[in-house]
Amino acid sequence: MRRHRFAPSALLTGLVLLGLAAVFLLDAAGEVSLSPRAAVPLTCAGLGLAALGAVTARVARGRAAARRSGRPAPSPAAPSGDHGVEGQ
């Protein structure tokens, strides 16, 4: 089996969506009353937290790689690598 890096954003996104699904199931069963006005901001906040985790993990990996290679750490706003741009 091929190994892959740990992706905290995928974990947080999955947990947010599972939690939201559980709340919707409870709402359908009549146990909880959930309005769409509450569901949308909660979902956006959870996915924003997942995005923050992704950015934090990327910055941490970049700094760790720079430390291992002896280069200065890249800034979070700087593009890293060529993202499929040809001719450069």
Domain annotation covers residue 55: yes
Domain annotation covers residue 80: no
What residues make up the domain containing 35? 8-69
Measured CA to CA in angstroms, residue 74 lies from 28, 46, 61 at distances of 48, 27, 10
Q: Is the pLDDT of residue 80 over 80?
A: no
CA distance linking residue 47 with residue 57, whole number of Å: 15
Domain annotation covers residue 2: no
Domain annotation covers residue 39: yes
Angle formed at CA 6 by CA 45 and CA 44, multiple of 5 degrees:
10
Number of domains within the chain = 1
Domain annotation covers residue 78: no
Domain annotation covers residue 75: no
Domain annotation covers residue 83: no
pTM over 0.85: no
Of the candidates 63, 11, 21, 58, the residue with the CA atom closest to the CA atom of residue 42:
21
Which of the four pLDDT bands, split at 50, 70 and 90, describes residue 76?
low
Domain annotation covers residue 32: yes
How many CA atoms, within 13 angstroms, populate the side-chain half-sphere of residue 43? 14
